[in-house]
Amino acid sequence: MDKNLHVVVKTPDDEDVRVNHIAWDEYFMSIAILSSLRSKDTNTKVGAAIITPDHKVASLGYNGMPTGIDDTSIPWARSAEDQLDTKYPYVCHAELNAVLNATKDLHGCTLYVTLFPCNECAKAVIQAGIKKVIYLDDKYHDEFISIASRRLLELAGVAMERYVGRIPNIDFGDVSYVARQG
Ligand SMILES: [Zn+2]
Protein backbone atom coordinates (compact mmCIF):
# COMPACT_ATOMS: atom_id res chain seq x y z
CA MET A 1 0.00 0.00 0.00
CA ASP A 2 1.21 3.51 -0.82
CA LYS A 3 2.46 5.12 2.37
CA ASN A 4 0.74 8.38 1.40
CA LEU A 5 -2.70 6.80 1.17
CA HIS A 6 -5.22 8.56 3.42
CA VAL A 7 -8.55 7.15 4.49
CA VAL A 8 -11.31 9.64 5.25
CA VAL A 9 -14.52 8.68 7.05
CA LYS A 10 -17.43 10.79 5.88
CA THR A 11 -20.67 11.41 7.74
CA PRO A 12 -23.42 13.84 6.75
CA ASP A 13 -22.51 17.48 7.54
CA ASP A 14 -25.80 18.20 9.22
CA GLU A 15 -25.67 15.32 11.73
CA ASP A 16 -26.00 16.22 15.43
CA VAL A 17 -22.51 16.05 17.00
CA ARG A 18 -24.02 14.62 20.19
CA VAL A 19 -25.42 11.53 18.48
CA ASN A 20 -23.25 10.93 15.42
CA HIS A 21 -20.78 8.69 17.22
CA ILE A 22 -20.85 5.35 19.05
CA ALA A 23 -20.65 5.24 22.86
CA TRP A 24 -17.52 3.96 24.66
CA ASP A 25 -19.16 0.60 25.41
CA GLU A 26 -20.24 0.21 21.78
CA TYR A 27 -16.78 1.19 20.59
CA PHE A 28 -14.98 -1.36 22.75
CA MET A 29 -17.45 -4.20 22.22
CA SER A 30 -17.13 -3.51 18.49
CA ILE A 31 -13.37 -4.00 18.81
CA ALA A 32 -13.94 -7.28 20.69
CA ILE A 33 -16.32 -8.49 17.96
CA LEU A 34 -13.89 -7.45 15.23
CA SER A 35 -11.10 -9.31 17.06
CA SER A 36 -13.28 -12.46 17.18
CA LEU A 37 -13.36 -12.48 13.38
CA ARG A 38 -9.62 -13.27 13.40
CA SER A 39 -10.34 -16.63 15.03
CA LYS A 40 -10.10 -19.74 12.90
CA ASP A 41 -12.37 -21.71 15.24
CA THR A 42 -15.08 -23.18 13.08
CA ASN A 43 -17.68 -23.19 15.84
CA THR A 44 -17.10 -20.44 18.40
CA LYS A 45 -15.19 -17.29 17.53
CA VAL A 46 -14.43 -15.21 20.62
CA GLY A 47 -12.84 -11.78 20.80
CA ALA A 48 -11.57 -9.76 23.76
CA ALA A 49 -10.48 -6.16 24.29
CA ILE A 50 -8.88 -4.93 27.51
CA ILE A 51 -9.43 -1.23 28.13
CA THR A 52 -7.74 1.09 30.63
CA PRO A 53 -9.78 3.27 33.02
CA ASP A 54 -9.07 6.26 30.76
CA HIS A 55 -10.51 4.55 27.68
CA LYS A 56 -7.32 3.38 25.99
CA VAL A 57 -6.94 -0.03 24.36
CA ALA A 58 -4.48 -2.01 26.50
CA SER A 59 -4.67 -5.31 24.65
CA LEU A 60 -6.65 -7.46 22.22
CA GLY A 61 -7.09 -11.19 21.75
CA TYR A 62 -9.07 -13.94 20.08
CA ASN A 63 -9.20 -17.71 20.48
CA GLY A 64 -6.58 -19.61 18.54
CA MET A 65 -3.79 -22.12 18.64
CA PRO A 66 -0.62 -21.15 20.52
CA THR A 67 1.84 -18.94 18.65
CA GLY A 68 3.97 -20.76 16.10
CA ILE A 69 1.63 -23.72 15.78
CA ASP A 70 -0.01 -24.15 12.40
CA ASP A 71 -3.78 -23.73 12.83
CA THR A 72 -4.36 -26.76 10.63
CA SER A 73 -2.03 -29.12 12.48
CA ILE A 74 -4.31 -29.48 15.52
CA PRO A 75 -7.99 -30.51 15.40
CA TRP A 76 -10.80 -27.98 15.81
CA ALA A 77 -13.39 -30.66 16.59
CA ARG A 78 -15.67 -30.27 19.63
CA SER A 79 -16.04 -34.00 20.20
CA ALA A 80 -14.12 -37.13 19.32
CA GLU A 81 -13.62 -40.58 20.70
CA ASP A 82 -10.27 -39.49 22.04
CA GLN A 83 -10.21 -36.10 23.80
CA LEU A 84 -6.78 -35.53 22.29
CA ASP A 85 -8.53 -35.24 18.93
CA THR A 86 -10.64 -32.24 20.07
CA LYS A 87 -9.61 -28.59 20.22
CA TYR A 88 -9.99 -28.24 23.99
CA PRO A 89 -6.54 -29.30 25.22
CA TYR A 90 -4.81 -26.98 22.74
CA VAL A 91 -6.69 -23.76 22.03
CA CYS A 92 -5.84 -20.51 23.82
CA HIS A 93 -8.93 -18.57 24.77
CA ALA A 94 -9.40 -14.94 23.70
CA GLU A 95 -9.24 -13.54 27.23
CA LEU A 96 -6.03 -15.42 28.09
CA ASN A 97 -4.46 -14.27 24.83
CA ALA A 98 -5.48 -10.67 25.55
CA VAL A 99 -3.93 -10.83 29.03
CA LEU A 100 -0.73 -12.38 27.65
CA ASN A 101 -0.57 -9.96 24.69
CA ALA A 102 -0.64 -6.89 26.94
CA THR A 103 2.39 -4.64 26.95
CA LYS A 104 1.19 -2.53 29.83
CA ASP A 105 -0.11 -3.04 33.34
CA LEU A 106 -3.73 -4.19 33.38
CA HIS A 107 -4.66 -3.24 36.95
CA GLY A 108 -8.00 -1.47 37.04
CA CYS A 109 -8.79 -2.31 33.41
CA THR A 110 -12.10 -3.52 31.96
CA LEU A 111 -12.37 -6.63 29.78
CA TYR A 112 -14.86 -6.53 26.91
CA VAL A 113 -15.46 -10.04 25.64
CA THR A 114 -17.95 -11.60 23.24
CA LEU A 115 -18.54 -14.67 25.45
CA PHE A 116 -18.60 -14.91 29.25
CA PRO A 117 -15.12 -16.06 30.40
CA CYS A 118 -14.51 -19.65 31.51
CA ASN A 119 -13.04 -20.38 34.94
CA GLU A 120 -9.50 -20.70 33.58
CA CYS A 121 -9.67 -17.28 31.93
CA ALA A 122 -11.30 -15.86 35.07
CA LYS A 123 -8.11 -16.80 36.94
CA ALA A 124 -5.95 -14.93 34.41
CA VAL A 125 -8.31 -11.94 34.53
CA ILE A 126 -8.12 -11.82 38.33
CA GLN A 127 -4.33 -12.24 38.44
CA ALA A 128 -3.88 -9.44 35.90
CA GLY A 129 -5.79 -7.02 38.15
CA ILE A 130 -8.72 -6.51 35.76
CA LYS A 131 -11.64 -5.07 37.71
CA LYS A 132 -14.63 -5.42 35.39
CA VAL A 133 -15.87 -7.87 32.76
CA ILE A 134 -18.44 -6.76 30.18
CA TYR A 135 -19.66 -9.72 28.15
CA LEU A 136 -21.95 -10.18 25.18
CA ASP A 137 -23.03 -13.82 25.06
CA ASP A 138 -23.55 -16.10 28.05
CA LYS A 139 -24.54 -19.34 26.36
CA TYR A 140 -22.76 -21.54 28.89
CA HIS A 141 -24.35 -19.78 31.89
CA ASP A 142 -25.47 -22.96 33.64
CA GLU A 143 -22.39 -25.03 32.92
CA PHE A 144 -19.73 -25.91 35.48
CA ILE A 145 -17.09 -23.63 33.94
CA SER A 146 -19.34 -20.56 34.07
CA ILE A 147 -20.59 -21.24 37.57
CA ALA A 148 -17.00 -21.63 38.81
CA SER A 149 -15.98 -18.53 36.88
CA ARG A 150 -18.71 -16.40 38.47
CA ARG A 151 -17.75 -17.67 41.90
CA LEU A 152 -14.08 -16.76 41.33
CA LEU A 153 -14.79 -13.33 39.87
CA GLU A 154 -17.26 -12.45 42.59
CA LEU A 155 -14.90 -13.52 45.39
CA ALA A 156 -12.08 -11.51 43.81
CA GLY A 157 -14.24 -8.39 43.55
CA VAL A 158 -14.35 -8.31 39.73
CA ALA A 159 -17.59 -6.72 38.51
CA MET A 160 -19.56 -8.59 35.85
CA GLU A 161 -21.94 -6.83 33.53
CA ARG A 162 -23.90 -8.06 30.55
CA TYR A 163 -23.50 -5.79 27.54
CA VAL A 164 -26.67 -3.84 26.89
CA GLY A 165 -25.55 -1.41 24.18
CA ARG A 166 -26.28 -1.65 20.51
CA ILE A 167 -24.75 -4.53 18.58
CA PRO A 168 -22.48 -2.69 16.20
CA ASN A 169 -22.96 -3.07 12.50
CA ILE A 170 -19.80 -4.77 11.29
CA ASP A 171 -20.36 -3.52 7.75
CA PHE A 172 -19.73 -0.10 9.35
CA GLY A 173 -23.21 1.20 8.60
CA ASP A 174 -23.71 4.18 6.34
CA VAL A 175 -20.35 5.87 6.70
CA SER A 176 -18.32 5.88 3.53
CA TYR A 177 -14.59 5.40 3.25
CA VAL A 178 -12.80 7.45 0.69
CA ALA A 179 -9.26 6.47 -0.19
CA ARG A 180 -7.22 9.10 -1.97
CA GLN A 181 -3.59 9.72 -2.80
CA GLY A 182 -2.00 12.87 -1.47
ZN1 LIG B 1 -11.46 -19.26 28.81
For residue range 31-69, list pLDDT tens digits in order. 999 999 899 988 899 999 999 999 999 999 999 999 999
The amino acid sitting at 36 is: S
Q: How far is C-alpha 175 from the chain's CA centre?
A: 23
CB-based contact 22:11 (threshold 8 Å): no
| pLDDT at residue 179 in the model | 53
| pLDDT at residue 182 in the model | 44
Q: How far is the CA of 52 from the centre of ligand 1 (A)?
A: 21
Q: How far is the CA of 156 from the centre of ligand 1 (A)?
A: 17
- pLDDT mean across residues, the chain: 87
Catalytic residues, by residue number, are 95
Residue 14 has pLDDT above 80, yes or no: no
Mean pLDDT of 104-131: 98
Residue 20 or residue 170, greater confidence: 20
- Give the span between the Cα atoms of 50 and 57, in whole angstroms: 6
Residue 19 has pLDDT above 90, yes or no: no
CB-based contact 102:77 (threshold 8 Å): no
Which protein residues have their CB within 5 A of the ion that is ligand 1? 93, 118, 121
| pLDDT at residue 9 in the model | 60
Q: How far is C-alpha 19 from the chain's CA centre?
A: 25
Q: How far is the CA of 128 from the centre of ligand 1 (A)?
A: 14
Give this prediction's pTM.
Answer: 0.85
- Give the span between the Cα atoms of 159 and 150, in whole angstroms: 10
